[in-house]
Amino acid sequence: MIKRSRLLLLGILVMFTITVKSQSIFGKWKTIDDRTGKPKAIIDIYKKDGLMYGHVVEILEEGKEDAVCSKCDGELKDQPILGMMIIEAAKKQHTGEWKGKKLFDPQQAMTFRCKIWLNPDNEDELKVRGYLAFIYRTQTWLRVES
């Protein structure tokens, strides 16, 4: 009877350890330009009302810290990129991926549909894929330690 209790306790501890190790998609991520390999910005990804959102909290490109969205139209025209919402209302899928209709690239002033997921081989990497019709491009963002 004591052996069973110990085995049960050990099993619970192992399951708790595995759960604690699992990383969340939420937090701060460093964007990497997939063409140049250079860091561009820090994005804070958070959950609100069950949906995923992300906004720019820091610009890493030297000389572009005060950049504005000069190519944008409408209310975003000439607005600061710092603080700009770039992911809006993405929904979690049963697969663990998040999908949404708004992934905004201020550099191109374009909005894409998106799919976002943690790299299953490295939970410190976030895969961010933007779709325009059937064409897509995927970037790997890196977790920023708090």
Residue 3, domain member (yes or no): no
By three-state DSSP, how is residue 131 classified? strand
Residue 72, domain member (yes or no): yes
Write out pLDDT tens, residues 25-81.
999 999 998 788 899 999 999 999 999 999 999 999 999 999 999 999 999 999 999
Residue 51, domain member (yes or no): yes
Write out pLDDT tens, residues 98-140.
999 999 999 999 999 999 999 999 999 999 999 999 999 999 9
In CATH, what number is assigned to the domain containing residue 62? 2.40.128.520
Residue 14, domain member (yes or no): no
Whole-prediction pTM value? 0.81
Residue 10, domain member (yes or no): no
How many separate domains does the chain show? 1
| 134: containing domain | 23-143
